Amino acid sequence: MNAIISATELADDLAGQRPPVLLDVRWQLSVARAAGEPPFDGRAAYAAGHIPGAVFVDLDEELASAPGTAGRHPLPDLTEFGSAMRRAGVSAGRPVVVYDGGQGWAAARAWWLLRWTGHPDVRVLDGGLPTWDGPLETTAPAPAEGDFQPNPGATGRLDADGAAALARSGLLLDARAGERYRGEVEPIDRVGGHIPGAVSAPTNENVAADGRFLPAEELHARFKTLGATDGTAVGVYCGSGVSGAHEVLALAVAGIPAALYVGSWSEWSADPSRPVAVGPDPQ
């Protein structure tokens, strides 16, 4: 099953006999705001207009726990996550489509969490809401309660030790911007740089100018060049497990399974005892 869906395909599915549950996960990283710009309000954006039938999901409140030693976006409490998904109408036997404002990071986080906790049929709207040319609505739906019960472990997840080991034995990709990987700038975390052995692979290089993913064969060629050859275990991290999920999604589009280090650099760099590499080379 393809991990992404086009707006045309989504419109057809919504009009079909087995329409998917639709989740709106619009979110923006706060440091990306321009000076003086108010914080992005995903709920307000949702209320102003969303794809008919979509239910809003709050990334910070429902797809992550509170920031702490495990990073800025640790895994959510699975009991609370399951309740949130059931309130949104998610059931194990019904497909789910997730979208955001176009960047794809937040939608990918929801996709990864649902896949990791056992949902068999989840896709991301390629390019997000900007690709949708159908109607929008401003009223929130009242979906019937779903039956989804999270069962973690269906897809790969790494902790800090696992990420360090994979950087030595397989391929660990760093999905952040190159300047953060090299340690030239660090706008959020305690220190810049990367996990020793990790390879720089900015997730924004997986998409075209319109935010849609590159064709699967181009993505496969890119990741092969970075070291994702047959038989190589692949993992991804980023700043806090959000943009990294987007790279895991890109790898899935390319047909390459990959694990996500959810704590990512925000967890790794918070511990002064962990090694930090700087510069363009992995080591």
Tell me the CATH number at 23: 3.40.250.10
Residue 35 banded pLDDT, cuts 50, 70, 90: low
Residue 120 and residue 66 share a domain? yes
Residue 40 banded pLDDT, cuts 50, 70, 90: confident
Domain of 22 in residue numbering reads as 4-131
Average confidence (pLDDT) over 93-103 = 97
Quickly list DSSP for 24-50. E-----GGGSPTTPPPP-HHHHHHH-B
Residue 118 and residue 16 share a domain? yes
Q: Closest Cα partner for 27 from 49, 10, 44, 4? A: 44
Phi, then psi, of 55 in degrees rounded to 5: -110, 135
Residue 30 banded pLDDT, cuts 50, 70, 90: low
Q: What is the pTM of this model?
A: 0.95
Query: Number of folded domains in the chain?
Result: 2
Angle at Cα 224 formed by Cα 221 and Cα 225, nearest 5°?
90
Residue 27 and residue 121 share a domain? yes
Check pLDDT > 60 for residue 32. no
Angle at Cα 177 formed by Cα 173 and Cα 178, nearest 5°?
80
Taken in order 27, 30, 34, 35, the sign of the CA dihedral is: positive
Q: Identity (one letter) of the amino acid at 19?
A: P
pLDDT at 76: 97
Residue 98 and residue 195 share a domain? no
Positions annotated as catalytic residues are 238
Residue 34 banded pLDDT, cuts 50, 70, 90: low
* Strands ordered across the beta sheet of 55-56: 4-5, 122-125, 96-99, 21-24, 55-56
Asked if 163 and 261 touch (Cβ cutoff 8 Å), the reply is yes
Q: What CA–CA distance (Å, rounded) separates 194 from 269?
A: 9
Q: What CA–CA distance (Å, rounded) separates 158 from 236?
A: 9
Residue 127 and residue 164 share a domain? no
